Amino acid sequence: MSSSPKVFPDAKSALEGFTFDGMTVMSGGFGLCGIPENLIAALRDSSVKGITVISNNAGVDGFGLGQLLETRQIKKMISSYVGENKEFERQYLAGELELEFNPQGTLAERIRAGGAGIPGFYTATGVGTIVADGKEIKRFGDRDYVLETGLVADLSIIKAWKGDARGNLIFRKTARNFNPMMATAGKVCIAEVEEIVPVGALDPDNIHTPGIYVDRIVQGTFEKRIEQRTVRVREAV
Amino acid sequence: MPWNRDDLAKRAARELQDGFYVNLGIGIPTLVANHIPEGMTVTLQSENGMLGMGPFPYEDEIDADLINAGKQTITELDETSYFSSSDSFAMIRGGHINLTILGAMEVAENGDIANWMIPGKLVKGMGGAMDLVAGVKRVVVVMDHANKHGESKVLKACTLPLTGTRVVNLIITNLGVFEVKPDGSGLKLIELAPDVTLEEIAEKTEAAYEVAI
């Protein structure tokens, strides 16, 4: 592998110079699937405070973003569902944590729009609900739509399966989820991957995230915790 | 006998049609997958980024990178495709999914639905529910007719914060089935669960409905 300015030896060094108090961070993953485990742990070990985190979920107690809640580094969460975390619940009910709920598809599209330079879009999702309170409503045809704004962040941290030194990424199965959009919507993006492969090893026709979106890349080790281990039983032959 | 959980799933499965792309909510709706009629092609969408959801894995097939929207481990099929969350909700918002089957806390006679938030209690979030009810062509609700205090969940107007307005097409409860009239003018009772009487429905239903059995 040729040396490349994008490749960093570990998550800690990859974060260097990209963090500051009061910053906004997008963090990929759905539940604990496809989360940037290594970069979250490195953020925990940094002294960054007052973070606004944009992430579909908030991890679980002691793992994923739950670790940044325990250290009180998160000031605000923008999420669609946060049901799996007792410490989150405690901080929220005590008024120590701000929370903004977005419908999941609206959250995904706000991030996609932010990364694509689109400042706002209209959607029927949430019209007539508290999600639309205070937002512009516009009628197209015979239906009302609510104006939602694009989202950007100071930093996005994402997880992919394989990547190369130019930052080209491939995701695996449902671990893709929010990661590709978040790659586009951070002022800077750090990707952690299971394997950094030589440039040229990835099929250009099958790259999910082109390297232009990825500023730094690091190879990590992964626990890949499972939230709901559901199985079926093989019938005896 | 009112319908039990499995009966409800079985009844909801009758809303499936050959070739349908379907999103199933968490709980009883998930059980509908067990009742897809033999020979019918139904493709299940999971909003975390998958079309063509397979059954739960055998122990030695478990893959942490392969879960459904309920965060349960699942499997893929030959036909499966994966995509991002924004592609997934483009499918949903864009009206490409034929049917969604969801649970609810309350449904109103005009098709309003509330299924994500009880004020004063811990709010976990709406997840993809608001996108599904707003974007999917046909919305079927499966739920108990009354809450645990015995109060009707089929109402004149929802009391809880809404998930969507005038979006529900069909309500399947443990006592019977109601169609929501497309003009929002009320419900039509079209089916009774075994041994359930019109009197029992009348007693336990707050919403206005006409009987069309």
* Digit-coded pLDDT (tens) for A55-75: 999 999 999 999 999 999 999
Query: Which portions of chain B are predicted below pLDDT 70?
Result: none
Tell me whether residue A232 is in a domain. Answer: no
Of B27, B34, B46, whose CA–CA distance to B10 is shortest? B34
CB-based contact B48 A30, cutoff 8 Å: yes
Of A57, A39, A18, whose CA–CA distance to A159 is shortest? A39
Strand partners, B209: B187
Tell me whether residue A139 is in a domain. Answer: no
State the smallest CA–CA distance between residue B8 and chain A in angstroms: 22
Tell me whether residue A131 is in a domain. Answer: no
Tell me whether residue A179 is in a domain. Answer: yes
Dig out the tokens for A37 from the structure: 């485990």
What range does the domain containing A100 cover? 7-117+152-219
Q: Where are the domains of chain B?
A: 5-211
pLDDT of B121: 81
Q: How many domains does chain A have?
A: 1
pLDDT of B10: 97
Tell me whether residue A57 is in a domain. Answer: yes
- Name the residue facing B71 among A104, A175, A228 (closest C-beta): A228
pLDDT of A1: 46
pLDDT of A237: 65
Q: How far is CA A197 from CA A164, A173, A223, B60, B142, in A?
A: 5, 19, 21, 28, 48
For B129, phi then psi, to 5°, come to: -60, -40
pTM (two decimals): 0.97
List the CATH number of the domain containing A36: 3.40.1080.10
Class of the B5-211 domain?
A: alpha beta
Tell me whether residue A130 is in a domain. Answer: no
State the smallest CA–CA distance between residue B12 and chain A in angstroms: 23
pLDDT of A4: 85
pLDDT at A180 over 80: yes
- Name the residue facing A81 among B127, B134, B135 (closest C-beta): B127
pLDDT at A91 over 60: yes
Helix axes A104-115, B85-93, angle to 10 degrees: 120
CB-based contact B67 A80, cutoff 8 Å: no
Quick check: A149 and A120 in contact, CB under 8 A? yes
Q: How confident is the model at residue A3 (pLDDT cuts 50, 70, 90)?
A: low
